[in-house]
Structure 1
Amino acid sequence: MIRAAGCVLWRRAPGGDGVELAVIHRPKHGDWSLPKGKLEPGEDSRHAAVREVLEETGMTCTLGAPLPTARYKAGGRLKEVVYWAAEATGGAFVRNKEVDELLWLPPAAARARLSYDQDKELVTAFLATRPAH
């Protein structure tokens, strides 16, 4: 099994009303997804989630509530991705070999932009962890 970790990365909207979520474009796959990646040998899921967010988005973050684990087939193998809500705490996006674009979008727009149903479901789960504003 392929083990991976990722985040629904969020920040307060610049206008102070609500939140924005980070969605990334991966040119290799031609898709829009949430930041995630494979665990390195001996690495725990929490560390991998923070590392992958930094590598793919340039953002530091603080992990919050755990979100549902996604399980699906990837290249004929079962892949399990453990997710957390994560608040962006700093940094700046720089294009890299894995990610060529990052968008900060309101949750409904993020859900519409994401390529995969399991990512859209994670946005819904994330919203359920947030108190109403």
Structure 2
Amino acid sequence: MTSAHPGPGPEPHDLVRAAGTVLWRRSAAGRGVEIALVHRPRYDDWSLPKGKLKRGEDFAAAARRETWEETGMECVLGQELTTIRYRVEGRPKVVRYWAAEAVGGDFTPSREVDRIAWLPLATARLRLTHDRDRPVLDAAPPLGPEGPAA
């Protein structure tokens, strides 16, 4: 089950907490913006940068850290987008996402993420492996030539 909205009531004690970003940059060709997707060889999937919170870490800090760890990009968080909920190996998982502008850095392949792709929004939406990630892109503010709309 996937939900784009947090449910009412207390969170289960075995809840997996994670955070991620819709990481964007201005196209070098001057054609709007590009969205970063990461390829995880363990799952052979394309997804948005995200990962689990460390003990004592807040969601926004985790979103920045995980984005840097997976893409090599420093980012500035913008608008919080949406929260998705689903189950992984029988455990409930919640992932909060932010729009984030890439402001510098370089990608280095790792065992966790071996490739990164910078794609136009429509192409990125099609490349995503998991349907649950598409509403996250849909929640992003309009991404025109100057980045997210204010």
Partner Cα distance (1:2, 1:115) in 2: 21
Partner of 1:98: 112
| Distance in 2 between residues matched to 1:128 and 1:2, nearest whole Å | 30
1:127, CA displacement in angstroms? 4.0
Once the two structures are overlaid, the 10-residue window that deviates more, 100-109 or 11-20, is 11-20
Q: Could you list the runs of 5+ residues in structure 2 that have no partner in the other structure?
A: 1-14
Q: Which of the pair is proportionally richer in helix?
A: 1
The residue aligned with 1:79 is: 93
SS of 2:133's equivalent in the other structure is helix
SS at match of 2:140: helix
Distance 1:131 1:41 in 2: 34
Tell me the CA shift for residue 131 of structure 1: 2.5
Superposed displacement of residue 118, structure 1: 1.9
> Which residue does the alignment assign to 1:20?
34
Question: By how many angstroms is 1:128 displaced?
Answer: 4.1
| Correspondence for 2:72 among 35, 45, 58 | 58
- Opposite residue 55 of structure 2, the aligned amino acid is P
Identity %, equivalent residues: 55
Q: Tell me, in whole angstroms, the C-alpha distance in 2 between the residues paired with 1:51 and 1:125.
A: 22
Q: Secondary structure at the match of 2:54?
A: coil
Q: Which deviations, in whole Å up to 9, do the C-alpha atoms of 1:23-51 show, x marking residues without a partner?
A: 01001111100000000000000110000
> Quick check: 1:117 aligned with 2:131?
yes
Which deviates the most, 8-17 or 30-39? 8-17
* Partner of residue 50 from structure 2, selected from 36, 39, 61: 36
- Over alpha carbons, which structure has the higher Rg? 2
Matched, 1:4 2:18: yes
| Alpha-carbon distance between aligned partners in 1 of 2:43 and 2:141, rounded to the nearest angstrom | 27
With normalisation by structure 2, the TM-score equals: 0.84
The one-letter code matched in structure 2 to 1:20 is E
Q: In structure 2, do the counterparts of structure 1 residues 69 and 44 end up closer, same or farther at CA, with 3 Å as the change threshold?
A: same
Which segments of 5 or more consecutive residues in structure 1 lack a partner in the other structure?
Answer: none
The two structures have a TM-score, normalised by structure 1, of 0.95
CA distance in 2, matches of 1:73, 1:28: 18
